[in-house]
Chains A and B, each alone.
Chain A
Amino acid sequence: AQSVTQLDSHVSVSEGTPVLLRCNYSSSYSPSLFWYVQHPNKGLQLLLKYTSAATLVKGINGFEAEFKKSETSFHLTKPSAHMSDAAEYFCVVSGSSNTGKLIFGQGTTLQVKP
């Protein structure tokens, strides 16, 4: 069975400093992995996705994530945080391939201090 664990429920950084949001996954097959962002009172927007191509995936707004099979990790990073990055971030793993279901992590709240 597939599962995903976001290791931090809350991360606080200062504007201009690096961001690291940690995600570990468990999958019985080679999964697709996603990071979604949700700004307050908004829907979910895809940041980036890994689908068995390059292990370093670049997304929107300067975010990137690296798929590490040996560590079963898919951590999200950004070199320099911006105030507008403050949001909820979800790490997501694909479930059954014939239904397209996704398994969501519990979310990490990113706070960016001025």
Chain B
Amino acid sequence: NAGVTQTPKFRILKIGQSMTLQCTQDMNHNYMYWYRQDPGMGLKLIYYSVGAGITDKGEVPNGYNVSRSTTEDFPLRLELAAPSQTSVYFCASSSPGEGYEQYFGPGTRLTVT
């Protein structure tokens, strides 16, 4: 199993541009999550999904959108990028049958200038 994979690893955006961060998991987990981690801080939940076709907002959803058309994929869309969205983005997945332990991807480091 590859686990949770994220692309790209790094990206630089100009203010106002848009992009999609990709996340894929091959563990057949129903639950998936997007977090952002700012320097020296913990993780903040952006959006989450409990299954294909079901998504919901987390703690900091403004400026982001998600979709979940398949169990495996959970892309995060940034519209009109702003410097405040400069961060490291982590995708994770979990399953109730595994005690909700979340498996994390390697992260995407995004800089908006």
Please give the residue numbers on chain A whose beta carbons come within 8 Å of chain B beta carbons, in ascending order: 32, 34, 36, 42-46, 49, 51, 90, 94, 97-102, 104-107
Contact = CB atoms under 8 A, between A and B. Distances in A.
Contact of B90 (A44, A106, A107): A44
Interface of B: 31, 33, 40-43, 45, 48, 50, 56, 58, 90, 92, 94-96, 99-107
Secondary structure call for the A interface: loop
B41 A101 contact: no
Contact of A43 (B90, B95, B99): B90
A98 B101 contact: no
A75 B102 CA distance: 20
A99 B99 contact: no
- Which 4 pairs of residues, A with B, have the shortest CB-CB distance? A100-B31, A51-B99, A104-B42, A44-B104
A101 B41 CA distance: 18
A98 B100 contact: no
Given A42-B106, A43-B90, A44-B104, A100 B96 contact: yes
Contacts of A90: 42-43
Contacts of B40: 107
B90 A49 contact: no
Contacts of B94: 100
Nearest to B92: A44
Given A43-B90, A44-B90, A90-B42, A100 B100 contact: yes
